[in-house]
């Protein structure tokens, strides 16, 4: 995630092969709002431009910018063929590709980040700060298994406990975690004090060869919608820094509103 020179605030990471594909489409779809998502006013979504070729997202490298109006997709390997495709639309400038999309905004000493990530989370770390080894045994395959593992992952605080929801046409669980406000942190270098590699590392999902560590500072929140899509677990993660502006949160909400899961 770009915009800062400090490694823990960026996901300048080594990737294995892209098992999760990112691409672009030109058609619109009915929108479904995720239960429990931010109540910030949504930014109106631009109509996907027919001038955007399929290469607008497909073939875009990680951390590269996405054009306004790009209708992108992520594919998740399903328990049976074909894969699950999750579509979403880019509502404003400054959003970049990852396993989903993110935006960093530098406002002097007030950096901001928001993201919408889509993944098949397979496991979590033992401790996101002090012991970032992969949990063994790994997290079980159900929605409840992952919700339980995330809810008990130190040092995160549960700010919205796991609750049953229906989102994007599928049943599942929503919860929200927060980086503790008293988590030791050096703002001058953007590092979590006492943590391995000065970062918090939480969940593991293909195509990442490492535990995700895109947290910026104490107070960051991460909403999870853990869905059962015809027997395959699909996770939508929405992260926001504590000081994210109303405008940035509205853009994030617009992306969440635009998500359509296709089978």
Average pLDDT, the chain: 81
For residue 171, which phi and psi values (nearest 5 degrees)?
-85, 150
The ranges assigned to domains in the chain are 7-262
Helix (H, G, I), strand (E, B) or coil at 254: helix
Q: What is the pLDDT of residue 81?
A: 80
Question: What's the alpha-carbon Rg for the chain, to the nearest Å?
Answer: 17
List C-alpha distances in Å: 147 to 49, 118, 230: 37, 16, 18
* pLDDT given for residue 34 in this prediction: 54
In percent, the amount of the chain with pLDDT more than 90 equals 65
How many CA atoms does the CB half-sphere of 81 hold within 13 Å?
0
Instruction: Note whether 125 and 191 are within 8 A (CB).
Output: no
Q: What is the pLDDT of residues 160-170, one digit of tens each?
A: 999 999 999 99
Which is more confidently placed, 61 or 259?
259
- CB neighbour list of residue 136: distance below 8 Å, 6 or more residues apart: none
Instruction: Read off the pTM.
Output: 0.82
């Amino acid at each position: 995630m770009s915009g800062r020179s400090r490694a823990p605030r960026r996901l300048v990471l080594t990737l294995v092969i892209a098992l999760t594909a990112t691409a672009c489409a030109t058609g619109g779809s009915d929108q479904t709002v995720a239960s429990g998502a931010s109540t910030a006013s949504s930014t109106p979504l631009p109509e996907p431009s027919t001038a955007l070729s399929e290469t607008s997202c497909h073939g875009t490298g990680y951390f590269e910018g996405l054009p306004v109006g790009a209708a992108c997709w992520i594919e998740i390997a399903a328990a049976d063929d074909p894969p699950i495709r999750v579509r979403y639309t880019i509502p404003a400038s400054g959003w970049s590709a990852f396993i989903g999309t993110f935006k960093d905004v530098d406002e002097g000493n007030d950096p901001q980040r928001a993201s919408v990530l889509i993944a098949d989370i397979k496991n979590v770390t033992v401790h996101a700060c002090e012991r970032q080894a992969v949990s063994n045994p790994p997290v079980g395959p159900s929605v409840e298994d992952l919700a339980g593992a995330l809810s008990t992952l130190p040092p995160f605080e549960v700010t919205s406990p796991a609750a049953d929801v229906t989102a994007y046409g599928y049943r599942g669980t929503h919860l929200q975690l927060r980086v503790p406000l008293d988590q030791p942190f050096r703002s001058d270098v953007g590092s979590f004090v006492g943590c391995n590699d000065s970062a918090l590392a939480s969940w593991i999902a293909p195509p990442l060869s490492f535990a995700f560590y895109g947290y910026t500072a104490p107070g960051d929140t991460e909403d999870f919608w853990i869905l059962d899509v015809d027997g395959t677990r699909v996770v939508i993660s929405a992260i926001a820094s504590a000081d994210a502006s109303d405008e940035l949160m509205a853009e994030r909400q617009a992306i969440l509103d635009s998500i359509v899961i296709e089978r």
